[in-house]
Structure 1
Amino acid sequence: MAEAMGLRERKKIQTAKRIYRIAVALFVERGFDNVSVQEVADAAEVSKMTVFNYFGSKEDLVFRPMEEHFGDAARAVRERHPGESAVDAVRRQFLEMVETRDPAVGLHAEPFAGQVRRLVMETPVLMERAVLGAQKGTRDLAALLAEETGDPMLAVIAAAMLSAARNALIEEHHDRIAAGESPDAVAADAAERARHAFALIENGLSGYAVKA
């Protein structure tokens, strides 16, 4: 039974991934607004209902696989080690993502990640969803810090600074690759660039939200 359940789960993951990639390919080729969910379903050889079972809306066909990353900074702070500050935790997580070439920080060599980003940036409804998702991630981080420190105002400032550092680094990775640099070249100094970015805000947040 356990093996059968494992097989079913793997098939579900494979189906979702296939639908996702087919949808993005169609959106990139023809434009998000010019492709219907039914056309995605037909291309993926599944029913329209199956698409909605895996992805709750047309926008989710683009965002569902990446949406969890809007909460990366809050997750880093929530799971940080005793004695680790909020800055240290977010920096450590980001450097780990750089080391593994995580697509969420714009360092994956596969062109697909860049295609998704361009699709979002060129489609107003998707760009709005991205902005709202990023804002929610920052609010969640601020709420977490406010709960721990008891100072909502400083928590909002800290969350905004940490989010801005991450976002600026990720945008730089994407922009450099889009300008023609190889992912390897960008990754070669990405860790050092990240250290500089977080050092820029560290003095202001030094000693803030150190976990007991």
Structure 2
Amino acid sequence: MGRGIKIDRWIEETVSSRKNLRSRKLWALMCKIKGGDSLIVSELSRLGRNMFQIVGILNFCMERQIKLRTIKENYELGNNIASKVLAFAFGLAAEIERELISQRTREALMRRKSEGKALGRPRGQKSVRVKLSKHEDDIISLINEGVPKARIAKKFNVARGTLSRFLSGISSGYRGKKPAPAYADGKRHSEFMERVALENPRPRLRVRKNPKEKQRAGEKPSKANLRRRAKV
């Protein structure tokens, strides 16, 4: 390449609106380059999918003393006054862009609400964003094998409470005052329990009968209940 610049590594990729920065090849390169290195791009707009992401990359480079050069605009940005002014201008444009997006979103929500349409996903429908939804079969298998919930939560990198709420949602039976609504696909608590029973013929849980029910059924009370009565 001209200007006496030596290229150590080439990266070719297409900027997609569906990919975040950490999933791009550019992020792997940014983690390796050091202060004094140069990052050369075809044009500034190729750095990110929006102005806000581009500003973030510019700040990243300036903080680490990395020079950024563009071929089309012929920019050579570093940790100097001119580069900071340009980065500030881009940051202002990014802030305006973000505010416009937020305003359009609010207007769209208000319009839908005025039309009488419900906001958000339908009540009871399983969200595609739930982190554990794609691991549902694995989680049920682990529970049937007797693996503690704390260990399962650690395996899938979630809190134990998150796992418990997810399991309550699957079984459509929260322990709170309001029962969980049935899923849109028709799954009910009984269907969930049948599924567990099929995968685990000998369930680990058993139903404890009330001592009065045992007496009515003609069964003998347990030793624990006899000891409790003796103490009384």
* TM-score interval for Structure 1 and Structure 2 normalised by the shorter chain: under 0.3
Please, what TM-score do these two structures have when normalized by structure 2?
0.24
> What TM-score comes out, normalization by structure 1 length?
0.25
Structure showing greater relative contact order (alpha-carbon pairs closer than 8 Å, 6 or more residues apart): 1
Q: Which has the higher helix share?
A: 1
